[in-house]
């Protein structure tokens, strides 16, 4: 029987790479994102086992509508990848735009927890499933300007661990992936609101993680036997360690 995955933030970056890899692994993949046209373009390339669905993680109503459009398939999700998330700005707390803080909270916390809550009962009923949340090293390692973004990712880490505690006695697995500096995605373009010069400066000489690295990590976690749970997995490029971002040398 074919396994089914739901991947949020599927239109680009980590999400797109994860969808491609899971399709190669034999999954039917429901790709969810705000930009339906990008998902539909991906479907033309990837085929009928990729199912596009429009979903805005900032809106519980949008999540409900997206799940309703799946016509029962939402009750047969074997793998949920809560990938959608964002950072906005790198200003210190006293200078930050509160609207950016609110958007991060709505997306990274409320949307993620709401979607998980909607899909979890069917997993518990079937006593089967895997939830992979996309955290960040920012949820553990503080750095200037990470204020609310880092806090949302700390929430995701603790939420993942508490899900495991709640699900003790079931066969449902939960993993939090915590990437460090990554490039080749829209993350920093969104964070710096289209300032490509600042994006380029962020990654100069960094040899950062690529989206395919995260996709391969998701694939590896999903391939592990059902008795094995990966609680957390923290990944950094060799050029990065702990604390504020270092000055990179080639």
Q: What is the pLDDT of residue 127?
A: 97
pLDDT class of 249 with cuts at 50, 70, 90: low
pLDDT in tens, 136-146: 999 999 988 89
Q: What is the pLDDT of residue 143?
A: 87
Q: What is the pLDDT of residue 209?
A: 87
pLDDT in tens, 180-189: 988 766 555 5
pLDDT in tens, 85-113: 999 988 999 999 999 999 999 999 999 99
pLDDT in tens, 190-238: 555 655 565 555 555 657 889 999 999 999 999 999 999 999 999 988 8
Bridging pattern class, strands 4-8 and 173-179? unpaired
pLDDT above 90 covers what percent of the chain? 76
Catalytic residue IDs: 149
CA 20 to chain centroid, in Å, comes to 15
For the record, the structure tokens of 6 come out as: 């739901």
Bridging pattern class, strands 28-33 and 4-8? parallel
CA distance 60 to 132: 20
CA 112 to chain centroid, in Å, comes to 9
CATH superfamily of 4-235: NAD(P)-binding Rossmann-like Domain (3.40.50.720)
Compute the mean pLDDT over every residue in the chain, rounded to the nearest whole number.
Answer: 90
CA distance 148 to 172: 30
The phi and psi torsions of 166 (rounded to 5 degrees) equal -65, -30
pLDDT class of 245 with cuts at 50, 70, 90: low
CA distance 248 to 239: 7
Beta-sheet strands, E only, within 36-160: 50-54, 79-82, 130-134
Given a cut of 80, is residue 246 above it in pLDDT?
no
Does the pTM surpass 0.85? The reply is: yes
Say if residue 171 is exposed, middle or buried (CB neighbours under 10 Å; 0-12, 13-18, 19+).
middle
User: What is the rounded average pLDDT of the residues 3-11?
Assistant: 97
CA distance 237 to 233: 13
Given a cut of 90, is residue 46 above it in pLDDT?
yes
CA distance 246 to 239: 8
* Domains of the chain by residue range: 4-235
């Amino acid at each position: 029987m074919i396994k089914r995955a739901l991947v949020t933030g599927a239109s680009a970056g980590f999400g797109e790479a994860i969808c491609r890899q899971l399709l190669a692994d034999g999954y039917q993949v429901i790709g969810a994102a705000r930009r339906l046209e990008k998902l539909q373009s991906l479907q033309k390339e990837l085929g009928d086992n990729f199912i596009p669905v429009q979903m805005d993680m900032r809106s519980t109503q949008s999540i409900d509508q997206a799940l309703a459009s799946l016509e029962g398939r939402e009750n047969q999700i074997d793998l949920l990848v809560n990938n959608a998330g964002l950072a906005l700005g790198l200003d210190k707390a006293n200078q930050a735009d509160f609207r950016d803080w609110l958007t991060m909270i709505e997306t990274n916390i409320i949307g993620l927890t709401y979607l998980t809550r909607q899909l979890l009962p069917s997993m518990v009923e079937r006593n089967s499933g895997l939830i992979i949340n996309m955290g960040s090293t920012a949820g553990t390692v503080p750095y200037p300007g990470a204020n609310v973004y880092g806090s949302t990712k700390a929430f995701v880490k603790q939420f993942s661990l508490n899900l495991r505690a709640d699900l003790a006695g079931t066969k449902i697995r939960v993993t939090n992936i915590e990437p460090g500096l990554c490039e080749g995605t829209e993350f920093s373009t969104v964070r710096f609101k289209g300032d490509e010069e600042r994006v380029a400066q962020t990654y100069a000489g960094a040899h950062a993680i690529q989206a395919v690295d995260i996709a391969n990590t998701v694939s590896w976690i999903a391939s592990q036997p059902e008795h094995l749970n990966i609680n957390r997995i923290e990944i950094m490029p060799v050029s990065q360690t702990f604390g504020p971002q270092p000055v990179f040398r080639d």
